[in-house]
Each structure stands twice: as C-alpha cells, then as structure tokens.
Amino acid sequence: MAHVSKWYDDFQVLRDITLDVDHGEKLVICGPSGSGKSTVVRLLAGLETHQEGTIRLHGEPVDAQGRGDVGMVFQQFNLFPHLSVLDNLMLGPMRALGMPKLDAHDRAMAYLERVRIPEQAGKRPGQLSGGQQQRVAIARSLCMDPKLMLFDEPTSALDPEMIAEVLEVMEDLARDGMTMICVTHEMGFARRVADRIAFMDAGEIVEVEPPDIAFAAPKSERFAQFLDKILKH
C-alpha cells in the first residue's frame, strides 16, 4: 500500500501509510489503541474504504481480489452462531467457490484437524471456549485458500490460558509459509514469528524493523516508550 490516507469526516485516521509486504512475509503491527492499526488491516480486507493512495495485492486493487483470497480473523471471532462449526467452515467453499458438498466437507475437516479440534465439528460456536472459537475462525478463513491472512487482535478477547493455543495455531501457519499481517500485542509471538514489526501511532507508521532490532534498539522515542510499557508486565 502506498501513500494511503483515510478520514472519518474531519478526523484523519490514517496519514500517508506506505507499506510493502512480500509473499510469505510475516508482519506484526503494534501500537497504542486508536493508532489506526485495525483500520490498516480492515482496508486490506476490503471492509473499509480510503480516500487517498493505492492498495494493491499481487498487483491488483483490493476489490478485484478473488473471493476469499484475503482471509481475516477478528478479535470477536464473528463465527456464525446459527450454524454448526462444520457448516461455518463449509459455507464459504460451497457458496463462494461453488465446491460440491462432499469436497467442502473434506476440506473443512482437514482444516479442523489442523487447528486441532475435529471433535467439535458438530457443535454450535456458542458451545465452544473462546480459544476454540478463534481456532474455528482461523480454519474458516483457511478453507478459502487465502493468499494473505489478516489477524486483527486475535487474542485480545481471550482469557490468558487460551491465548497460547491460538498463538500456536498461528505459528504453525507461519511455518507453512502463509503471508500474514497480524495486529497484536503479543510481543513473544512477534519475536518468534515476525519478519518485521511495524509500530503505528496517531495514524502513522512510525517505524518498521526486524524484531531483533526493534526490541534491542528501537529508533524512535515513541516506540521505545510503547515497548517499555507493554513489556514491563
């Protein structure tokens, strides 16, 4: 994305954002709340519009992407509560890709295995724990064979003991070479997985660094203060 700016009425939420993510790269975006990091991810998912600049994925604008090419995992899971876990996963492949039911079923089960909850396939999302729901949400996105996975604070709504199981699944995914952009405050995850960490504040990208440099010697004062605050506890 290049020189992207966005306003809500008079309020500028993004200021001249320029960001390149390579195929297979893992980028972590962090920053204080209200810094615009969610907005960046939502723009890439095609859920928001912007006023200035260009966003391209594989050379194409966001709205020209194939159906389900950009997967998104939300803070609040957003599973479909009226459908079983299995039907949540099969809906996209069947309706958006026109896949036959049996194939969609096999694919859904394969991804449920991958997020390690095949035994929950018949349950409703409401019967699962938060961590399980978020893993189902990840599997639901994967069922569409996305080229890019976006994560918008995927562990922020979870109890501490469930964060690890979701992060593990995400690390698995990273090892398999998925291109990932994650908004998260899990700095341990960032250190282990990220190729680069982008720090955002007040609608700007302040700094983009590989994790070892970011944690050892952040260049900007704001990033240093932010890291200091969240690494303290």
Q: Is 32 in the site for another protein (CB under 8 A)?
A: no
Collapsed DSSP state (helix, strand, coil) of residue 210? coil
By rule CB under 8 A, what string of x and - marks binding of each residue 144-173 to another protein?
Answer: x-----------------------------
Indicate which single residue of 63, 126, 175, 216 sits in contact with another protein (rule: CB under 8 A): 126
Among 36, 71, 130, 218, binds another protein (CB under 8 A): 71
Q: Is 80 among the residues that bind another protein (CB under 8 A)?
A: yes
70 binds another protein (CB under 8 A): yes
Judge residue 135's burial from the number of C-beta atoms within 10 Å of its C-beta, 0-12 exposed, 13-18 middle, 19 or more buried. buried
Q: Should residue 79 be labelled a site residue for another protein when binding is judged by CB under 8 A?
A: yes
Cβ atoms of residues 67 and 96 within 8 Å: yes
| Closest among 15, 47, 79, 31 to 220, alpha carbons compared | 31
Of these, 141, 155, 179, 184, which contacts another protein (CB under 8 A)?
A: 141
169: left (phi over 0), alpha (psi -120 to 50) or beta: alpha
Please tell me whether residue 140 binds another protein under the rule CB under 8 A: yes
Q: Is 166 exposed, middle or buried (0-12, 13-18, 19+ CB in 10 A)?
A: buried
CB proximity list for 8: less than 8 A, separation 6 or greater: none
Nearest approach, Cβ of residue 135 and another protein (Å): 15
State the Cα angle at 169 between 65 and 172, rounded to 5°: 80
Closest to another protein by CB, 37 vs 196, is 37
Question: Which range, of 51-59, 68-76, 101-109, 218-226, touches another protein by CB under 8 A?
Answer: 68-76
- Kindly tell me the burial class for residue 177, based on how many C-beta atoms sit within 10 Å of its own C-beta (0-12, 13-18, 19 or more): exposed
Out of 51, 54, 127, 220, the only residue in the binding site for another protein (CB under 8 A) is 127
Rg (the chain; Cα; Å): 18
Minimum gap (Å) between residue 110 Cβ and another protein: 16
- Give the binding range for another protein (CB under 8 A) out of 2-10, 71-79, 108-116, 161-169: 71-79
Interaction site with another protein (CB under 8 A): 45-47, 66-72, 74, 76, 78-82, 91-92, 95-97, 124, 126-127, 137, 140-141, 143-144
